[in-house]
Structure 1
């Protein structure tokens, strides 16, 4: 049997047996992930601080615990550092002792679909995430979508799901072995 026909039969079996993730046909999978985006103060899940002197932006708690070199601080700055109790007091401390041009930005986590990802099977999407994990956050996941009002995609997937590939045996396409 032609290797292409074997491939199509295996793909057909996988398409017909995989979970549909509650998504209508014709379905395909992408990579879903999360990113932090700026938002209104009332919707903030965290705060980031932009430091113009460094040209960098950091999640505020990460900056205070992992980036800031406390050994370079004066005794007064260290004493006041110990009094930080919230984002506002942290921001004030940063402006006074580290970068007076600093700005505070409220952020929330947002789900999004990664560009340039499209898979016919959920297993292939999972394997892609595993093999390319360094391009994604730890929260990357398969995400099922419907090719809504895409008649050619719908027809192709229907053919792949329903065609009797064994009927090709003995034809010019797939001669008898």
Structure 2
């Protein structure tokens, strides 16, 4: 036979254990939620860190590229400003004509100065584009100053060179200025 006092005691013990289990379960659930929140925060911070590292690497690469370009092309403005000096020396030599006793020192001086300027250009990666009469016109490196029908030529041939062009490393600094034949096809 069951003792009613024992049943009340068991009910009290079961209720106390159940309450303890409920408290433990609630605490466990809170800890699990907190752990999930911490994991989510960790993942978010890791993602932000990875993005920041990638952005820093991209910034470093951009800076390296800009530095290399500045080294290669930084003097392009100065070089463009010096090209008319070269052109004027070429014109001076053309105007001087044949070398005579009277003008030989002047011509030699201009030639020497021009050679020194070309050596300086070469040292800094500036190379002349020197088309010849009869070469095919290339719009990528030549600038057509005029077109004229010249017998004995084909359309698109260079008939006159007004000014040499120049490369700065792999970039066109100035196109060669040329006259082009517009002779119609026979």
TM-score normalised per structure 2:
0.19
Which structure has more strand as a fraction of its residues? 1
Which of the two has greater helix per residue? 2
Work out which of the two has the higher radius of gyration on C-alpha atoms and give 1 or 2.
2
Q: Which has the higher contact order (CA 8 A, sep 6+)?
A: 1
